[in-house]
Amino acid sequence: MTRQRIQRSDREWRELLTEEEYRVGVKEGTERAFTPGNLNDEKRPGLYHCKGCDTPVWSSEHKFDSGTGWPSFWQPAEPGIIETKTDFKMIIPRTECHCAVCGLHMGHVFKDGPPPTGERWCINGVVLDFRPQE
């Protein structure tokens, strides 16, 4: 499904997000592992929506316990809803992921996840809103 892209000014982001959501989502930061309320321990069926645009980006069907302290998924909710780019902030390049609709930074994807993809999408819960399945 193709969705219309959203672009926001820095001012709009600051009005929409809390300071921590802005630091992580716009400035491409990382929340601390095991942060209370970061959705790592959320076990109910449902969808995780982007706080920047309300797009459903992750599904509980693809969530697994990676033991890392961040919500982890083996694939996005639908193809093309998450985009990636190379992150050179650490010594070793990593693959950073963003919402394809608004560009909000979500986290990183690694090649050490479970089948069927072998991927671990390690996501900052602070940039997500969880909606339980009705």
How is residue 52 written in tokens?
A: 């920047």
Kindly report, residue by residue over 10-26, the tens digit of the pLDDT: 999 999 999 999 999 99
Catalytic residue among 50, 97, 99, 122: 122
DSSP E strands: which ranges in 32-102? 46-50, 56-59, 63-64, 72-73, 82-87, 94-99
How far, in Å, are 5, 9, 34 from residue 16 at the CA level? 17, 11, 24
The question of whether 122 is a catalytic residue gets the answer yes
Q: Do residues 122 and 109 touch, judged by C-beta distance below 8 A?
A: yes
Report pLDDT digits (tens) over 21-48.
Answer: 999 999 999 999 999 989 999 999 999 9
